[in-house]
Amino acid sequence: MERWARLMAMGMVGLSLASTQAKADDSEATNDTKCLIVSMNMMDSNDETTAKAAVMAMFYYLGRVDGNAPNFDLEHKLEDLVATMSADDMQSAARSCGATMIARGQALQDMGARLQKRANQPPQSKGAS
């Protein structure tokens, strides 16, 4: 009986953790969906550079939603957010999403520089220490 009770308790803890993770995934996916909306709006820009950057951002955030929360109801979340986001919400999301894109872009540039540096180093012999 005691073993069964422990198994039940472990199962309930597991369900609780899964529920917490699902809520975190939904919150992150909701933020990414806001970024998706911002990028889709920017795709209509008359500035060609902005419009092209917006397409890249749109695919980036779509990939984040799909990768982090594959069962997320994107269609209904888009519908809900488009109907409820104010101009201030859009500006706030644009700042946050832009900062994320800048940080990821910088991380990618830094990684590329490190990889290039290692690629240009002469190979070390196996006997060297």
Model confidence pLDDT, tens digit, residues 74-108: 999 999 999 999 999 999 999 999 999 999 999 99
Count of residues in the chain: 129
Domain ranges across the chain: 26-119
Higher pLDDT, 72 or 21: 72
* Residue ranges in 1-129 assigned as alpha helix (H): 2-42, 48-68, 74-84, 87-120
**Whole-number Å distance between alpha carbons of 53 and 83:** 24
Contact in structure between 66 and 29 (CB atoms under 8 Å):
no
Centroid of chain to Cα 122 = 37
Q: pTM of the entire structure?
A: 0.71
